[in-house]
Amino acid sequence: MSDFDAASFLDRLGLRATRPRLRIARILFADRQDRHVTAEWLADELARQQHPVALATVYNTLHALTEAGALREVRGASPGTIVFDTHTGPHHHFYDETTGELTDIPADAITLQDLPQAPDGKTISGCDIVIRLR
Amino acid sequence: MSDFDAASFLDRLGLRATRPRLRIARILFADRQDRHVTAEWLADELARQQHPVALATVYNTLHALTEAGALREVRGASPGTIVFDTHTGPHHHFYDETTGELTDIPADAITLQDLPQAPDGKTISGCDIVIRLR
DNA sequence: ATACCTGCAAAGTCTTTGCAATCAA
DNA sequence: TTGATTGCAAAGACTTTGCAGGTAT
Protein backbone atom coordinates (compact mmCIF):
# COMPACT_ATOMS: atom_id res chain seq x y z
CA MET A 1 0.00 0.00 0.00
CA SER A 2 1.72 3.05 1.29
CA ASP A 3 4.41 3.80 3.78
CA PHE A 4 2.75 6.99 4.84
CA ASP A 5 3.04 7.51 8.58
CA ALA A 6 -0.03 9.44 9.53
CA ALA A 7 0.89 9.66 13.19
CA SER A 8 4.20 11.42 12.70
CA PHE A 9 2.68 13.49 9.92
CA LEU A 10 0.17 14.90 12.39
CA ASP A 11 2.84 15.18 15.02
CA ARG A 12 4.99 17.31 12.79
CA LEU A 13 2.02 19.62 12.30
CA GLY A 14 1.51 19.89 16.04
CA LEU A 15 -1.82 18.10 15.88
CA ARG A 16 -2.84 15.32 18.19
CA ALA A 17 -3.02 11.99 16.49
CA THR A 18 -6.61 11.09 17.18
CA ARG A 19 -8.34 8.31 15.39
CA PRO A 20 -10.45 10.49 13.10
CA ARG A 21 -7.46 12.62 12.21
CA LEU A 22 -5.32 9.61 11.41
CA ARG A 23 -7.96 8.30 9.06
CA ILE A 24 -8.45 11.65 7.43
CA ALA A 25 -4.72 12.20 7.04
CA ARG A 26 -4.34 8.86 5.33
CA ILE A 27 -7.12 9.56 2.92
CA LEU A 28 -5.80 12.98 2.06
CA PHE A 29 -2.05 12.60 2.09
CA ALA A 30 -1.08 8.96 1.65
CA ASP A 31 -1.18 8.71 -2.10
CA ARG A 32 -2.01 11.43 -4.53
CA GLN A 33 -0.64 14.90 -4.01
CA ASP A 34 -3.32 16.93 -5.68
CA ARG A 35 -6.61 16.17 -4.05
CA HIS A 36 -9.54 18.53 -3.94
CA VAL A 37 -12.07 17.50 -1.37
CA THR A 38 -15.16 18.87 0.28
CA ALA A 39 -16.16 18.09 3.84
CA GLU A 40 -19.10 16.13 2.59
CA TRP A 41 -17.06 13.97 0.21
CA LEU A 42 -14.60 13.22 2.97
CA ALA A 43 -17.32 12.27 5.45
CA ASP A 44 -18.85 10.00 2.82
CA GLU A 45 -15.49 8.44 2.06
CA LEU A 46 -14.90 7.74 5.75
CA ALA A 47 -18.31 6.14 6.00
CA ARG A 48 -17.56 4.09 2.89
CA GLN A 49 -14.45 2.82 4.62
CA GLN A 50 -16.58 1.77 7.58
CA HIS A 51 -15.12 4.47 9.81
CA PRO A 52 -17.74 7.19 9.95
CA VAL A 53 -16.70 10.51 11.43
CA ALA A 54 -19.12 13.24 12.42
CA LEU A 55 -19.39 15.97 9.84
CA ALA A 56 -18.53 18.57 12.47
CA THR A 57 -15.33 16.72 13.22
CA VAL A 58 -14.50 16.54 9.55
CA TYR A 59 -14.81 20.30 9.36
CA ASN A 60 -12.76 20.74 12.53
CA THR A 61 -10.00 18.59 11.14
CA LEU A 62 -9.99 20.20 7.72
CA HIS A 63 -9.70 23.60 9.32
CA ALA A 64 -7.01 22.41 11.70
CA LEU A 65 -5.03 21.02 8.78
CA THR A 66 -5.52 24.27 6.93
CA GLU A 67 -4.21 26.33 9.83
CA ALA A 68 -1.31 23.94 10.15
CA GLY A 69 -0.46 24.61 6.53
CA ALA A 70 -1.17 21.15 5.19
CA LEU A 71 -4.26 22.19 3.28
CA ARG A 72 -5.43 25.22 1.44
CA GLU A 73 -8.95 26.42 0.92
CA VAL A 74 -9.85 27.07 -2.68
CA ARG A 75 -12.11 29.99 -3.27
CA GLY A 76 -13.95 30.87 -6.37
CA ALA A 77 -14.90 27.40 -7.40
CA SER A 78 -18.05 25.59 -6.38
CA PRO A 79 -20.16 28.41 -5.06
CA GLY A 80 -21.33 27.82 -1.53
CA THR A 81 -18.91 25.01 -0.90
CA ILE A 82 -15.46 25.03 0.63
CA VAL A 83 -12.98 22.96 -1.32
CA PHE A 84 -9.79 21.90 0.44
CA ASP A 85 -6.70 21.36 -1.66
CA THR A 86 -3.80 19.18 -0.58
CA HIS A 87 -1.55 21.15 -2.88
CA THR A 88 -0.59 24.19 -0.83
CA GLY A 89 1.97 25.76 -3.09
CA PRO A 90 1.13 28.53 -5.56
CA HIS A 91 -0.97 27.28 -8.45
CA HIS A 92 -4.32 27.85 -10.05
CA HIS A 93 -7.38 25.90 -11.11
CA PHE A 94 -9.59 24.80 -13.88
CA TYR A 95 -13.16 24.59 -12.67
CA ASP A 96 -15.45 22.40 -14.69
CA GLU A 97 -18.86 23.98 -14.46
CA THR A 98 -20.54 20.80 -15.55
CA THR A 99 -19.05 18.39 -13.07
CA GLY A 100 -17.87 20.78 -10.38
CA GLU A 101 -14.43 19.23 -10.66
CA LEU A 102 -11.24 21.15 -9.94
CA THR A 103 -7.95 20.53 -11.71
CA ASP A 104 -4.62 22.07 -10.89
CA ILE A 105 -2.82 24.46 -13.18
CA PRO A 106 0.86 24.83 -12.28
CA ALA A 107 1.71 28.33 -11.19
CA ASP A 108 4.24 28.75 -13.96
CA ALA A 109 1.72 27.80 -16.61
CA ILE A 110 0.34 31.30 -16.30
CA THR A 111 2.39 34.44 -16.46
CA LEU A 112 0.93 37.50 -14.84
CA GLN A 113 2.33 40.74 -16.15
CA ASP A 114 1.85 44.18 -14.74
CA LEU A 115 0.23 42.95 -11.56
CA PRO A 116 -1.55 46.03 -10.27
CA GLN A 117 -0.45 47.74 -7.10
CA ALA A 118 -2.37 46.97 -3.98
CA PRO A 119 -4.36 50.01 -2.88
CA ASP A 120 -3.25 52.23 0.01
CA GLY A 121 -1.79 50.38 2.97
CA LYS A 122 -2.84 46.93 1.83
CA THR A 123 -0.71 43.92 1.06
CA ILE A 124 -1.43 41.26 -1.50
CA SER A 125 -2.01 38.11 0.49
CA GLY A 126 -2.82 35.83 -2.38
CA CYS A 127 -4.05 35.49 -5.90
CA ASP A 128 -6.56 32.97 -7.11
CA ILE A 129 -7.11 32.32 -10.75
CA VAL A 130 -10.01 30.13 -11.68
CA ILE A 131 -10.52 29.28 -15.31
CA ARG A 132 -14.02 28.09 -15.85
CA LEU A 133 -14.68 25.31 -18.33
CA ARG A 134 -17.82 24.41 -20.14
CA MET B 1 -30.82 63.54 -9.81
CA SER B 2 -30.42 61.29 -12.79
CA ASP B 3 -31.93 60.92 -16.21
CA PHE B 4 -31.83 57.16 -15.99
CA ASP B 5 -34.95 55.61 -17.48
CA ALA B 6 -35.43 52.42 -15.57
CA ALA B 7 -38.55 51.42 -17.50
CA SER B 8 -36.91 51.38 -20.89
CA PHE B 9 -33.78 49.91 -19.41
CA LEU B 10 -35.76 46.90 -18.28
CA ASP B 11 -37.67 46.88 -21.54
CA ARG B 12 -34.49 46.63 -23.52
CA LEU B 13 -33.52 43.63 -21.43
CA GLY B 14 -36.85 41.96 -22.10
CA LEU B 15 -37.91 42.22 -18.48
CA ARG B 16 -41.25 43.44 -17.30
CA ALA B 17 -41.11 46.80 -15.65
CA THR B 18 -42.60 45.91 -12.31
CA ARG B 19 -42.35 48.17 -9.33
CA PRO B 20 -39.67 46.20 -7.47
CA ARG B 21 -37.59 45.86 -10.61
CA LEU B 22 -37.80 49.54 -11.37
CA ARG B 23 -36.54 50.38 -7.91
CA ILE B 24 -33.79 47.83 -8.07
CA ALA B 25 -32.70 48.97 -11.52
CA ARG B 26 -32.46 52.54 -10.32
CA ILE B 27 -30.36 51.62 -7.34
CA LEU B 28 -28.02 49.48 -9.38
CA PHE B 29 -27.70 51.31 -12.67
CA ALA B 30 -28.65 54.95 -12.27
CA ASP B 31 -25.36 56.35 -11.06
CA ARG B 32 -22.16 54.44 -10.55
CA GLN B 33 -21.06 51.85 -13.02
CA ASP B 34 -19.08 49.56 -10.79
CA ARG B 35 -21.29 48.39 -8.00
CA HIS B 36 -20.84 45.17 -6.12
CA VAL B 37 -23.94 44.24 -4.21
CA THR B 38 -25.31 41.31 -2.29
CA ALA B 39 -28.98 40.42 -2.11
CA GLU B 40 -29.04 41.35 1.53
CA TRP B 41 -27.48 44.75 1.01
CA LEU B 42 -29.95 45.49 -1.75
CA ALA B 43 -32.94 44.42 0.34
CA ASP B 44 -31.69 46.62 3.18
CA GLU B 45 -31.19 49.53 0.83
CA LEU B 46 -34.72 49.17 -0.52
CA ALA B 47 -36.04 49.11 3.03
CA ARG B 48 -33.98 52.18 3.86
CA GLN B 49 -35.62 53.94 0.94
CA GLN B 50 -39.02 53.03 2.37
CA HIS B 51 -39.72 50.57 -0.42
CA PRO B 52 -39.12 47.16 1.07
CA VAL B 53 -39.00 44.25 -1.33
CA ALA B 54 -39.14 40.63 -0.30
CA LEU B 55 -35.73 39.00 -0.20
CA ALA B 56 -36.93 36.27 -2.53
CA THR B 57 -37.92 38.89 -5.06
CA VAL B 58 -34.56 40.57 -4.73
CA TYR B 59 -32.90 37.27 -5.58
CA ASN B 60 -35.31 36.69 -8.45
CA THR B 61 -34.55 40.08 -9.88
CA LEU B 62 -30.81 39.80 -9.46
CA HIS B 63 -30.84 36.49 -11.25
CA ALA B 64 -33.12 37.81 -13.96
CA LEU B 65 -30.77 40.73 -14.51
CA THR B 66 -27.84 38.35 -14.58
CA GLU B 67 -29.45 36.17 -17.22
CA ALA B 68 -30.33 39.26 -19.19
CA GLY B 69 -26.68 40.21 -19.18
CA ALA B 70 -26.95 43.33 -17.06
CA LEU B 71 -25.22 41.81 -14.05
CA ARG B 72 -22.49 39.33 -13.47
CA GLU B 73 -22.00 37.06 -10.50
CA VAL B 74 -18.61 37.32 -8.91
CA ARG B 75 -17.19 34.10 -7.68
CA GLY B 76 -14.27 33.63 -5.41
CA ALA B 77 -14.89 36.54 -3.15
CA SER B 78 -16.95 36.51 0.02
CA PRO B 79 -17.36 32.82 0.67
CA GLY B 80 -20.96 31.81 1.04
CA THR B 81 -22.30 34.98 -0.47
CA ILE B 82 -23.19 35.80 -4.04
CA VAL B 83 -21.90 39.18 -5.12
CA PHE B 84 -23.48 40.78 -8.16
CA ASP B 85 -21.39 43.13 -10.21
CA THR B 86 -22.86 45.82 -12.44
CA HIS B 87 -19.70 45.78 -14.50
CA THR B 88 -20.24 42.89 -16.91
CA GLY B 89 -17.22 43.31 -19.13
CA PRO B 90 -14.00 41.39 -18.61
CA HIS B 91 -12.15 42.53 -15.53
CA HIS B 92 -10.90 41.21 -12.24
CA HIS B 93 -11.11 42.01 -8.55
CA PHE B 94 -9.28 42.95 -5.46
CA TYR B 95 -10.91 41.32 -2.48
CA ASP B 96 -10.23 42.93 0.86
CA GLU B 97 -10.25 40.11 3.37
CA THR B 98 -10.72 42.54 6.22
CA THR B 99 -13.74 44.43 4.98
CA GLY B 100 -15.09 41.99 2.43
CA GLU B 101 -15.03 44.78 -0.11
CA LEU B 102 -14.54 44.17 -3.82
CA THR B 103 -12.76 46.58 -6.13
CA ASP B 104 -12.45 46.33 -9.87
CA ILE B 105 -9.21 45.71 -11.68
CA PRO B 106 -9.42 46.60 -15.37
CA ALA B 107 -8.90 43.57 -17.59
CA ASP B 108 -5.92 45.15 -19.30
CA ALA B 109 -4.17 45.75 -15.99
CA ILE B 110 -3.26 42.09 -15.97
CA THR B 111 -1.64 40.26 -18.82
CA LEU B 112 -2.05 36.51 -18.96
CA GLN B 113 0.58 34.74 -20.93
CA ASP B 114 0.67 31.14 -21.98
CA LEU B 115 -2.89 30.50 -20.93
CA PRO B 116 -3.04 26.73 -20.65
CA GLN B 117 -5.11 24.66 -23.01
CA ALA B 118 -8.47 23.54 -21.83
CA PRO B 119 -8.53 19.78 -21.28
CA ASP B 120 -10.14 17.39 -23.78
CA GLY B 121 -13.36 18.64 -25.32
CA LYS B 122 -13.82 21.55 -22.96
CA THR B 123 -14.04 25.23 -23.72
CA ILE B 124 -12.87 28.06 -21.53
CA SER B 125 -16.00 29.89 -20.54
CA GLY B 126 -14.42 32.46 -18.30
CA CYS B 127 -11.53 33.40 -16.13
CA ASP B 128 -11.78 34.93 -12.69
CA ILE B 129 -8.82 36.46 -10.99
CA VAL B 130 -9.22 37.49 -7.40
CA ILE B 131 -6.32 39.18 -5.69
CA ARG B 132 -6.74 38.97 -1.97
CA LEU B 133 -5.67 41.89 0.17
CA ARG B 134 -4.75 42.01 3.80
C1' DA C 1 -57.22 37.45 -20.46
C1' DT C 2 -53.21 35.50 -19.30
C1' DA C 3 -48.75 34.84 -18.55
C1' DC C 4 -45.58 36.64 -15.54
C1' DC C 5 -44.30 38.56 -10.97
C1' DT C 6 -44.49 39.28 -5.89
C1' DG C 7 -44.48 38.20 -1.14
C1' DC C 8 -44.56 35.16 2.46
C1' DA C 9 -43.16 31.28 4.75
C1' DA C 10 -41.21 26.90 4.51
C1' DA C 11 -37.55 24.12 3.04
C1' DG C 12 -32.72 23.41 1.50
C1' DT C 13 -27.70 23.54 1.51
C1' DC C 14 -23.54 24.14 3.63
C1' DT C 15 -21.11 25.35 7.82
C1' DT C 16 -20.57 26.46 12.73
C1' DT C 17 -21.51 26.16 17.68
C1' DG C 18 -22.59 24.26 22.39
C1' DC C 19 -21.74 20.88 25.42
C1' DA C 20 -21.28 16.43 27.76
C1' DA C 21 -18.59 12.35 27.05
C1' DT C 22 -14.14 10.62 25.55
C1' DC C 23 -9.32 10.37 24.56
C1' DA C 24 -4.19 11.40 23.87
C1' DA C 25 -0.14 12.66 26.19
C1' DT D 1 -4.74 14.09 35.39
C1' DT D 2 -5.97 17.47 32.15
C1' DG D 3 -6.70 19.97 28.32
C1' DA D 4 -7.76 18.83 23.59
C1' DT D 5 -11.07 16.38 20.67
C1' DT D 6 -15.28 13.96 19.40
C1' DG D 7 -20.10 13.35 18.34
C1' DC D 8 -24.54 14.78 18.31
C1' DA D 9 -28.02 17.88 17.72
C1' DA D 10 -29.31 22.47 17.41
C1' DA D 11 -28.46 26.87 15.46
C1' DG D 12 -26.81 29.96 11.69
C1' DA D 13 -26.03 32.19 7.28
C1' DC D 14 -27.40 32.34 2.73
C1' DT D 15 -30.33 30.90 -1.01
C1' DT D 16 -34.23 28.58 -3.27
C1' DT D 17 -38.94 26.86 -3.75
C1' DG D 18 -44.08 26.54 -3.54
C1' DC D 19 -47.97 28.69 -4.08
C1' DA D 20 -51.90 32.03 -3.52
C1' DG D 21 -52.83 36.53 -4.86
C1' DG D 22 -51.52 40.57 -7.68
C1' DT D 23 -49.91 42.95 -12.05
C1' DA D 24 -48.14 44.35 -16.76
C1' DT D 25 -49.28 44.00 -21.43
Q: What are the tens digits of pLDDT across the range A44-77? A: 999 999 999 999 999 999 999 999 999 999 977 7
Q: Given a cut of 80, is residue A125 above it in pLDDT?
A: yes
- At position B23, the amino acid (one-letter code) is R
Query: What distance in Å separates residue A95's CA from the closest CA in chain B?
Result: 10
A123: pLDDT confidence band, cut at 50, 70 and 90? very high
What CATH number is given to the structural domain containing A43? Answer: 1.10.10.10
* A15 within some domain: yes
> What range does the domain containing A123 cover?
6-133
For B23-38, letters b (16+ CB in 10 Å) and e give bbbbbbbeeeeebbbb
Name chain B contacts of A113, Cβ cutoff 8 Å.
110-111, 113
Assess if residue A122 is contained within a domain: yes
Residue A1 inside a domain? The answer is no
Please check whether residue B102 lies inside any domain of the structure.
yes
> Distance between CA atoms of B81 and B127, rounded to whole angstroms?
19
- Listed as ranges, the nucleotides of chain C within 7 A of a protein C-beta are 4-10, 13-18, 23-25
Torsion sign over Cα A41, A80, B133, B69:
positive
Could you read off the pLDDT tens digit of each residue along chain B, which spans 134 residues? Answer: 568 999 999 999 999 999 999 999 999 999 877 899 999 999 999 999 999 999 999 999 999 999 999 999 987 777 789 999 999 999 999 998 888 889 999 888 887 777 778 888 999 988 889 998 98
What is the pTM assigned to this prediction? 0.90
Residues 6+ apart with CB under 8 A from B55: B39, B40, B43
Whether B1 is in a domain gets the answer no
> Residue A94's pLDDT is what?
92
- Chain B 76-105 contacts with nucleic strand D (CB below 7 A): 80-82
Nucleotide nearest residue A38, measured CA to C1': C14
**Which of the pair, A18 or A115, is modelled with greater confidence?**
A18
Q: Tell me: pLDDT of A37 over 70.
A: yes
In a domain, A87, yes or no: yes
At B46-85, the pLDDT tens digits run: 999 999 999 999 999 999 999 999 999 987 777 789 999 9
Check if residue B16 sits with its Cβ under 7 angstroms from strand C: yes
Return the pLDDT at A2: 67
- Confidence bin at A41 (pLDDT 50/70/90): very high
Asked if the structure places residue A89 within a domain, the reply is yes
pLDDT score of A1: 59
Number of domain units in chain B: 1
- Nucleotide C17's nearest residue (CA vs C1') is A56
Residue B79 in any domain: the answer is: yes
Please list the alpha-helical segments (H only) found in A30-111. 39-48, 55-67
Q: What chain A residue is nearest to B114 in terms of C-alpha separation? A: A110
